[in-house]
Structure 1
Amino acid sequence: MKTRSVVLYSVLRLLAFLVPLGIMLLFPIFREMYWIALIFAALIGVSLSIIFLRRPLDDVASGLAARREQRTQKTDAEKDADLEDAANAALRHEDADGDAAR
């Protein structure tokens, strides 16, 4: 995953919230009831990020998906160990069947 994509997306999301909040706090009504300014800034920030930050979000999401896929893929050593375990289990099963038949 690219660190640059994550940092860029995070900074842009913060700016989408903080800039409208700063502008609204310039008005006296929002200084008295700051919680309304917080709610409006959050709604504006979400709206702006949905509209304008689709590409950075896709970059971050694809990076996370690639990282998860790498983590779930088995290494060659793990594949070899699984094959050996399966072969050993098959031999034990054949020995148990052969001993039971005698």
Structure 2
Amino acid sequence: MKTSRTWVVYSLIRVGLFAVVLAILLLTQMTPWIAAAVAAVISLCASYIFLRKPREQLAQGLYEARHGEGKVPARAPEKAGSDEENEDAVVDGDPAPRS
């Protein structure tokens, strides 16, 4: 699926979810501004839990648009940099940092 289409579908699903929750809360005679705030929180949580696949497709498409059409590389384990070495030297009590 193209990134622009994925973006539109994901956004429409999230807006629709918000609208449904807001309508339900307004039908329960809740104060409108409180209903909007509660609907925003509920729809955010629900979209985070239930819309994982579209969110990952969107992230993949954005990555490919930014870095070319290649696949997302596997993350290499992080190596200790000079900051970590200096911190370790201080914690260990060494007077001079390692280079």
How high is the sequence identity, in percent, across the aligned residues? Answer: 40
The equivalent residue for 1:2 is 3
RCO higher in 1 or 2 (8 Å CA, sep ≥ 6)? 1
Structure with the higher helix share, 1 or 2: 1
The ranges of structure 1 where at least 4 consecutive aligned residues each deviate by more than 3 angstroms after the TM superposition are none
1:45 aligned onto 2:43: yes
CA RMSD of aligned residues (A): 1.6
The equivalent residue for 1:11 is 12
Q: 8 Å contact 2:22–2:39 — kept in the other structure?
A: yes
How far apart in 2 are the matches of 1:10 and 1:46? 12
Residue 53 of structure 1 and its aligned partner are, at CA, apart by: 0.5
Residue 41 of structure 1 and its aligned partner are, at CA, apart by: 0.1
How far apart in 1 are the matches of 2:67 and 2:36? 38
Unpaired runs of 5+ residues, structure 1, are 72-102
Residue 17 of structure 1 and its aligned partner are, at CA, apart by: 0.8
Give the TM-score normalised by structure 1.
0.62
Q: 8 Å contact 2:25–2:35 — kept in the other structure?
A: yes
Larger radius of gyration: 1
How far apart in 1 are the matches of 2:49 and 2:4? 23
Unpaired runs of 5+ residues, structure 2, are 70-99
The equivalent residue for 1:24 is 25
Q: 8 Å contact 1:16–1:44 — kept in the other structure?
A: no
Q: 8 Å contact 2:14–2:47 — kept in the other structure?
A: yes
1:69 aligned onto 2:84: no
